[in-house]
Structure 1
Amino acid sequence: MSKPNPFDDPSNPFEDPSITSALTSHREEPAYQLETDPIHANSSSFAASTDDFSGATLKQFSAPEVDPFSSSDSPYQQSSTVSTPTPGALSGNREEELLRKERELEQRERDLEQRQQTITRQGRLPNNFPPCFPFIYLDINVEIPPQHQGVMNWLYREWLLFEITLVMNFIAILCVLFSHPPSVTSAPTDMGVALTEMFTHTAASFFLWYRPVYNAYMKDVSLYFFLYFVFNGFHILYTFYMAVGIPSTGGAGLILLVTLFSDGYILSGIFTLLATICWLVMGVMAIFLFKKTYDQYKAAGHTWKETKTDAYVHLGRSPTARNIAVQGAGAYASANRR
């Protein structure tokens, strides 16, 4: 049998014996075999044991579509929103704080209107202060809110104690003048100053710090609190200054007390001792109430900026200020026309 010519061009190249033998050798089992991976074996067994999902579509098992540009919360944004506060949250907290202050202000206005309506229903109440010559109406139980009536009552007692101290101081100086101690040469001057202070300081203390703090607690206005702090601060300094008892200042204080007891003027010394005690007690009481009022002023949220705003508002409501503003505007307009 003749061998086939390898240079012949058969019609089917895969019928070549060399190619056929090569293909047949590749179908045989290889001489080497890899070790079975237990992880792949388990996964293959799990895949074999599961149901047939050939009927399901790809959309049913695909991950949910997430728009990276959407504003809605996503699983990738959840951790960042929880850990870091956004500007919107900060602005929301600020709005809540402003709303809370607005509600408190509205509540104060309603309380004040209710008290005014109560007074209106009762008619215009007659003036009741001071009792000797009433020219103004004052009633802590009616005009002051209940939560501030306790402090206001103590402030009224402070003012009364100041009047008692002025009277006691004048009596002590008058006793010194009548006793004529040789070491006290300023008794006439002290008596004149003490008499003048008894009247002038009574009116000044009422209009400069007692009436402002009364209006402050009644109307809850920052400007009235500021006036009280300023003038009551000077009042405290004046109290301890008088308690020293410097000659020719009208003060029955420590210096005059030591001089009288050293010279043996017991009666004048006793009145001077009482006046000195009144000065010191009233000074300590004034400091305590000043601190208490300041704490309530800060707790109410008042600030120096609010005080300036209240001052501008009250200045604008003043008829004199309005007339000055109108005249100034007219002068400015006429100058521009020229």
Structure 2
Amino acid sequence: MAENNFPPLPEFIPLKPCFYQDFEEIPEQHRSMCKKIYYLWMLYSVTLVVNFVGCMAWMFGGGGVTNFGMSLMWLILFTPCSYVCWFRPVYKAFKTDSSFNFMAFFFVFMAQVVISIFQAIGIPGWGVCGWLGTIVFFSTNIFAAVIMLIPTLMFTAVATLSFIALTTVHNLYRGTGGSMSKAQEEWASGAWKNPHVQQAAQQAALGAVQGGMQAQDPSNTPDYNNQMLIQNEI
């Protein structure tokens, strides 16, 4: 089994990589698309970092502290969660042509597209430097608003590219004959092939057979005639 190599952490950090990632194991016809989605994840992660800086400028420029705190939460939570929740499923889907992983990717990534759109809009108090907060803040502090404009443009780019990626992967999946029923069949067959499930089923069947054999064993059947004779003798 290959050793985990992602994320590539420095040796002085007492943590080990959690995942194995090598685009060479992706089939050649899907390798380019898989890399593009990986670059999209990198762009989103960088956007969250830049948004954190933008919210810091927003705070020092006279804005509230809430946006700064929320931007830190976005950065800490959504950088790893986006990798695990939508990039890893599509990576495994391209690797093994797994309908179940494709469906997991579609379900989560649709939510990611919606979140990116709201981040680009920039509802105040959400911890993002979107269009609403940036445009309004130009009348308060132009310098801070210009810094806020950078993550705003990046969020807009992420939302647009995410929508394009979602439709592209969906068309690619449907073009190969994929469907929800296929994913359900794959999940069902995969669950049946699980060795733990098989072992439990075998044990249950064996227990039922043994129970039936014991019930039919004459030695376990009460001898009512002998009992009557004993009672009469008493």
TM-score of the alignment, normalized to the shorter chain, above 0.5: yes
| CA–CA distance in structure 2, aligned partners of residues 318 and 199 of structure 1 | 35
Deviation of residue 154 (structure 1)?
0.7
The aligned residue for residue 151 of structure 1 is 33
Deviation of residue 135 (structure 1)?
2.4
Higher relative CO (Cα under 8 Å, sequence separation at least 6) belongs to 2
Seen in structure 2, the aligned counterparts of structure 1 residues 267 and 301 have a Cα distance that, compared at 3 Å, is: same
Indicate the structure with greater helix content: 2
Structure 1 counterpart SS, 2:168? helix
Deviation of residue 210 (structure 1)?
0.3
Report the TM-score, using the length of structure 2 for normalisation: 0.79
Higher alpha-carbon Rg: 1
The aligned residue for residue 19 of structure 2 is 136
**Map of 1:1-338 to 2, 5 A cutoff?**
124-132=1-9, 134-140=17-23, 142-179=24-61, 181=62, 184=63, 187-263=64-140, 265-317=141-193
Q: Give 2:164's aligned amino acid.
A: F
Q: Unaligned 5+ residue runs, structure 2?
A: 10-15, 215-234
Q: Deviations over 1:79-106 (max 9, x none)?
A: xxxxxxxxxxxxxxxxxxxxxxxxxxxx
Report the TM-score, using the length of structure 1 for normalisation: 0.56
Q: Which deviates more from structure 2 when the two are superposed, residues 318-327 or residues 273-282?
A: 318-327
| CA–CA distance in structure 1, aligned partners of residues 117 and 4 of structure 2 | 34
| CA–CA distance in structure 2, aligned partners of residues 189 and 331 of structure 1 | 60
> Is the 1:191–1:250 Cα contact (8 Å) retained in structure 2?
yes
Deviation of residue 226 (structure 1)?
0.6
| CA–CA distance in structure 2, aligned partners of residues 166 and 272 of structure 1 | 12
Percent of residue pairs bearing the same amino acid type: 26
| CA–CA distance in structure 2, aligned partners of residues 267 and 178 of structure 1 | 11
Q: Unaligned 5+ residue runs, structure 1?
A: 1-123
Q: Deviations over 1:143-177 (max 9, x none)?
A: 11111111111111100011011111111111111
Deviation of residue 317 (structure 1)?
4.9
> Is the 1:168–1:271 Cα contact (8 Å) retained in structure 2?
no
Deviation of residue 258 (structure 1)?
1.3
Q: What RMSD over aligned residues (CA atoms) do the two structures have, in Å?
A: 2.8
The aligned residue for residue 14 of structure 1 is none
